[in-house]
A and B are shown apart, each in its own frame.
Chain A
């Protein structure tokens, strides 16, 4: 089975622009989470979606938004980009939103803001 896929792999944007990152979960997985990993740090939780509803949100500004589609894929949107938004954005999927189900991570999207 294919793992979690993310697109694009790399992205370069300018301050003030908007960006959309995409994630396709493992087939059958209904929960998707997004994490931001700044260089040299551990990932930080941004959002979790389960059955197309937001189930959790981390400490990120309203410039960050996300949604989940009927096929359980997800998009993360970031508006008014700042230099500090430069990071690896990781998507993780799980079978259900319950804690005992493992989260499987995608390869990430490397966003560079100049």
Chain B
């Protein structure tokens, strides 16, 4: 079974600065998908960024980028120019490629999350 570990329960950053959230995962699969989700205090889970394991290029979405190290099974999220609205719980998640898992394994496996505080 796949596992996702987020070793930083809490992180803080000054507004306009950069912060990196860590995530490691364990899998024996070669094809899979990785995600970072944001859950603000309002509870709605929002997709921040995704990475396909077969792509070597790190994904980028505006101020958000990832450092995907497949061999090390590491998937960190970097937030640049942090804003007050970035304050939230951030979850790293893993998803198998169903084509390689015998059919319909579409579930997301989440880490325990990292609570990000942005200080003005």
Contact = CB atoms under 8 A, between A and B. Distances in A.
B47 to A, nearest CB: 6
Contacts of B95: 99
23 contacts: A31-B106, A33-B106, A33-B107, A33-B108, A40-B112, A42-B4, A42-B93, A43-B45, A44-B110, A45-B107, A48-B107, A50-B104, A55-B104, A56-B104, A56-B105, A58-B107, A92-B45, A92-B108, A99-B98, A102-B50, A103-B108, A107-B42, A107-B44
A2 to B, nearest CB: 13
A49 to B, nearest CB: 10
Interface string B83-101: 0000000010101111100
Contacts of A98: 98, 106
Most chain B beta carbons < 10 A, residue from A33, A43, A97, A102: A43
Interface residues of A, number: 30
Interface residues of B, number: 29
Interface string A92-114: 10100111101111111000000
Interface in A16-59: 31, 33, 35, 40-45, 48, 50, 55-56, 58
Given A41-B112, A42-B112, A102 B106 contact: no
